[in-house]
Structure 1
Amino acid sequence: MQNNKKLKIAFFGSSLVSAYWNGAATYYRGIVRALHQRGHQVTFYEPDAYQRQENRDIPDPDWAKVVVYAATEEAVFKMLEQATEADIVVKASGVGVFDGLLEAEVLKLQTPERMVIFWDVDAPATLDRVQNNPDDAFRAHIPQYDMVLTYGGGEPVIQAYEALGVKQCVPVYNALDTATHFPVEPNPKFACDLAFLGNRLPDREARVEHFFLEVAAKLPQNTFIIGGSGWGDKPMSSNVKYIGHVFTQDHNAFNCTPKAVLNISRESMARYGFSPATRVFEAAGAAACIITDYWEGIDFFFEPDTEILVAKNGDEVGKIMAGLTEEKATAIGKAAYNKVLAAHTYNHRADQLEKLLHSKIARKAGELV
C-alpha cells in the first residue's frame, strides 16, 4: 500500500462532539481534525449515553462524520457492520457503553488488508485493571490487536503492554489544537490567583485536596476557582469559587484570565509518568502560566521553571504562589506558548501517526507477498 494512500478510519470512542464527563474529547478532536487535514476520512461512532448529546460543545464537524448510536447491543452490531467499509478500525478505551463487547468484536473485523487498533486514552488505569485481575477479558485481546496506541505513559506503559504480549505499543501524546485553543482577552468571571479545571474522579480527588483545596485554605488572602463536574458538594474554603462544568468554548478565557492555572494529574498517570493531560497543552496554547504537580517526564515536554512551574506537594504550590509576580507569570506563559507551537501541536502528532500507520500497513502487505 502506498505511503500517500488516504485512509478510511472507523473510530469507536466516547464522544467527539461533547466534553461532558468526557475529558478525552479535545484529544480526539485534535487528532481527528489533523488527520482530516491530511486527506484521511474519519467516521466517529459514539453512543447516546451519559447525557453527552444533551450537553454538546460542538455541532457535527465538517472534518469528521459523526454517527451517534443507541446504547443497545443491537446498535453496536449495526455500527460494527458499517465499520467494515474502513481501512482501519480503532476501538478507544472508555467508550462507556459495551466496552467489553466492542473490544472483542472489533477483532473480528481484522483482515490481511484491514488493521484493528486499540487506542488507550487511560493506559495506567487499563494496565492496573488487567494486572490486578488475571481473568480480565481484555488481557487475552491485547496480543490480537495490530497495534495499541496510548495517550501517554512513555517507556513504563510500553513495557507494561509488552509484558502482556502486545505486537506494538506507541504513545501518541496529547497536544495543542491551534484551531480551538489560543490566547484571548481575559474574562472577569474567571479572574483569580489560581484556577483548576478537572472532573471529580476517584483517583484524582485526593490529589486535588492536597494540591489545591488545602492550599486555598492556607492562603485566605488569595482567590481560587475550580471548574469541572462533580465538585458541588465538596467542602471548600470561602476563597474558592466552584463554577461547575466549563464548556470548551470557555477554556481559553478560563486559561488566560487567572494569574496561574494548576494541572493535577490523576494518581495512576502521575505514577506512570510521561502522561501530560490535554489541559496542559490547552493552557500552554493560551499562554497561561501553568503550575503542575510533579510527574516523571515533565522535562520531555516543557522546561521546568522556564516554561512550567512544578510542585511536588501542596506546600510547594503555596510557595510558588507566594513568589509569583504578574511579570513572571506572563513570561512563563509566553515561553510555554512558544514551546507548544514549536513541538506539541496535533499537526506534529498526526505526522507521527500517519508515518506509523503507513509503515504498519506496508509491513502487513509485505507479509502477504
Structure 2
Amino acid sequence: MSAAPPLRIVVLGLSLSSSWGNGHATTYRALLRAFAARGHEVLFLERDTPWYARHRDLEAPGFCTLAFYDDLMGLQVWGGAIADADAVILGSYVPDGVAVGDLVLKMARGVTAFYDIDTPVTLSGLERGEVAYIAARQIPGYDLYLSFTGGPTLDLLERRYHARAARQLYCSADAEAYRPIERAPRWDLSYLGTYSPDRQPALERLLLEPARRAPDLRFVVAGPQYPGEIRWPANVQRIDHLPPAEHAVFYTRSRFTLNVTRAAMVQHGYSPSVRLFEAGACGTAIISDIWDGVDTILTPGSEILLAQNPDDVLDILRQLPEARRRAIGQAARAHVLRDHTAARRAAELESHLRQAIAGRAGAFAGAPRDAGQTLSMQVPT
C-alpha cells in the first residue's frame, strides 16, 4: 500500500465485465485489482454493448465500482465523478472514443491520461486518419499518454503527436491467477488469442504448418472469432472461448505455448502481449515470433525461445530436452514475477499519476479547487 494519500480515479475502458474476444479485460482486471490493493479507489465506466452484455464473466468486481452507461448522454450522468477525480484514464477502443475523449478533456479537473493498449494499431490508424477512439488533436490535451508499447515509440508520440508525457505501461500478469498448476501435459504446443487477420499469417506459419508436418504431435488453438473457412489440421484442437479462470490450467497442460504478434506491433517492436506475461507466470515454456525489444522482456534462449519458421518450431518440439524445457519455463516465471506482475505495474501507474499531479500542482499553483469536493463511487440517483 502506498504511504501517500490514496487516489480516486475514474477509468473508461473497452470492457471490464467481459473477457470474450477482449484481451483488455484481463489487463484491466489485474492492473486495477493491484491498484486498489495499494489503497486507491477506482470507478470503472463501461459502455453497455450487446456483445459484451451477452458474455459477461465479471459483473461485480470486488476491487472497484463497475458501472455501465448506454450512450454519451448516459455518460454525462457521471460528470461529477469525472470532474472531481484525482485522475481520469480513457482506454483505447472505447466506443465513440473521440467523443468520450472530448467529454473527459472538457469535464476533468484532475489529471487526464490516455491508456493505449493498442499503440501500434493506433499509430497506423492515425496515419490513415481511421481511428475511431482517439484523434491526433486530442493527444496534446492529455497529461499522460500511457502506452502498451515502449522503446522508440514513446519518442515518436512526443515528437510527432506532441504528447506531453508518453510513458511505457506494459500489460502484466496477475500472479495469483496465473501460476503453475500440477497437471500432466495434454498438448505439445498451444495458442490462446482472439482471431486477428494480421496475426493469422504468423499463427499459420508457426502452429498450423508444424501441425500438418507432425500429425503425431498435439496442438490447440483457443479463442473466438476465427472464420469458418480456416482448415484446421486434424491434430489441432479448437476451443472457441476459454474463460480467464481456466487460463492457468490451459498453459500448465501445454508443453510449450506460442506467442504471436500483430503486424503493426512487430513493426514498432517493444509490444509484449498480456498473454506472454500470463503464460510466463504459469511457468510454461514460450515460443515466440521475433520482434524488436523481445530481449528486453525475456532473455532469448534461457527464458523464451524464438522461431521464424515451421522448421524452427518442430526442432524445438522434437529435440529440446525436457529438463531444458522446464528450466526455460521456470526462468520465465521468475523474470515475470520480478518485473511484470500486476503489483509492479500498479506501482508504476501510481508513480506516473503522482508525477503528473505534482506537475499540475506546480503549473496551476494558486488556482484553487472547490474545497470539500469528493468523488462519489456510488451510482448516481
Contact 2:157–2:163 (8 Å) recurs in 1: no
- Whole-Å separation in 1 of the counterparts to 2:324 and 2:157: 40
Does 2:235 match 1:236?
no
Structure 1 residue 314: Cα displacement: 3.1
TM-score (norm 2): 0.90
- Whole-Å separation in 2 of the counterparts to 1:84 and 1:187: 52
Contact 2:9–2:87 (8 Å) recurs in 1: yes
Q: CA 1:319 to 1:154, structure 2 compared with 1: closer, same or farther past 3 Å?
A: same
| Letter of the 2:197 counterpart | P
Partner SS for 1:195: strand
**Among 289, 305, 329, the residue aligned to 1:309:** 305
Structure 1 match to 2:75: 76
Structure 2 match to 1:253: 249
Regions of 4+ moved over 6 Å: 134-137
Contact 1:232–1:244 (8 Å) recurs in 2: no
Structure 1 match to 2:124: 128
Q: CA 1:65 to 1:263, structure 2 compared with 1: closer, same or farther past 3 Å?
A: same
Partner SS for 1:259: strand
Structure 2 match to 1:57: 57
Q: CA 1:347 to 1:320, structure 2 compared with 1: closer, same or farther past 3 Å?
A: same
Q: CA 1:88 to 1:325, structure 2 compared with 1: closer, same or farther past 3 Å?
A: same
Query: What's the CA shift string for 1:29-60, capped at 9, x where partnerless?
Result: 11111110111111001112252233223341
Q: CA 1:285 to 1:134, structure 2 compared with 1: closer, same or farther past 3 Å?
A: closer
Partner SS for 2:359: helix
- Whole-Å separation in 2 of the counterparts to 1:344 and 1:320: 26
- Whole-Å separation in 2 of the counterparts to 1:109 and 1:358: 20
Contact 1:12–1:92 (8 Å) recurs in 2: yes
The number of equivalent residue pairs is: 362
Structure 2 match to 1:150: 147
Query: What's the CA shift string for 1:291-310, capped at 9, x where partnerless?
Result: 11111111111111111111
- Whole-Å separation in 1 of the counterparts to 2:181 and 2:142: 42
Structure 1 match to 2:343: 347
Structure 2 match to 1:18: 18
Mean Cα deviation higher: 172-181 or 50-59 = 50-59
Structure 1 residue 237: Cα displacement: 1.1
**Among 191, 199, 208, the residue aligned to 2:194:** 199
Structure 1 residue 161: Cα displacement: 4.5
Partner SS for 1:52: helix
Percent identity at matched positions? 32
Structure 1 match to 2:180: 183
Structure 1 residue 184: Cα displacement: 1.2
- Whole-Å separation in 2 of the counterparts to 1:73 and 1:232: 33
**Among 168, 171, 181, the residue aligned to 1:171:** 168
Contact 2:154–2:167 (8 Å) recurs in 1: no
Query: What's the CA shift string for 1:185-209, capped at 9, x where partnerless?
Result: 3277xx1110001111122122211
Contact 1:91–1:119 (8 Å) recurs in 2: yes
Partner SS for 2:187: coil
Query: What's the CA shift string for 1:116-168, capped at 9, x where partnerless?
Result: 11111100011111122299870111111111101223223442443111111
Structure 2 match to 1:108: 106
Structure 1 residue 275: Cα displacement: 0.9
**Among 196, 209, 228, the residue aligned to 1:214:** 209
Alignment of 1:5-44 (within 5 A): 5-44=5-44
Contact 2:173–2:342 (8 Å) recurs in 1: yes
Contact 1:157–1:272 (8 Å) recurs in 2: no
Structure 1 match to 2:85: 86
| Letter of the 2:47 counterpart | P
Partner SS for 2:251: helix
- Whole-Å separation in 2 of the counterparts to 1:143 and 1:367: 16
- Whole-Å separation in 2 of the counterparts to 1:109 and 1:73: 13
Query: What's the CA shift string for 1:95-126, capped at 9, x where partnerless?
Result: 2x222211221110243xx1111111100011
| Letter of the 2:7 counterpart | L
Structure 2 match to 1:323: 319
Structure 1 residue 313: Cα displacement: 2.9
Structure 1: 5+ residue stretches without partners = none
Structure 1 residue 90: Cα displacement: 0.8
Q: Give the root-mean-square deviation of aligned CA atoms.
A: 2.0
Partner SS for 1:60: coil
Contact 1:19–1:57 (8 Å) recurs in 2: yes
Contact 2:85–2:108 (8 Å) recurs in 1: no
Structure 2 match to 1:336: 332
Does 2:279 match 1:283?
yes
TM-score (norm 1): 0.93
Structure 1 residue 24: Cα displacement: 1.1
Contact 2:10–2:89 (8 Å) recurs in 1: yes
| Letter of the 2:152 counterpart | E
Contact 2:43–2:64 (8 Å) recurs in 1: yes
**Among 251, 262, 267, the residue aligned to 2:263:** 267
Contact 1:290–1:308 (8 Å) recurs in 2: yes
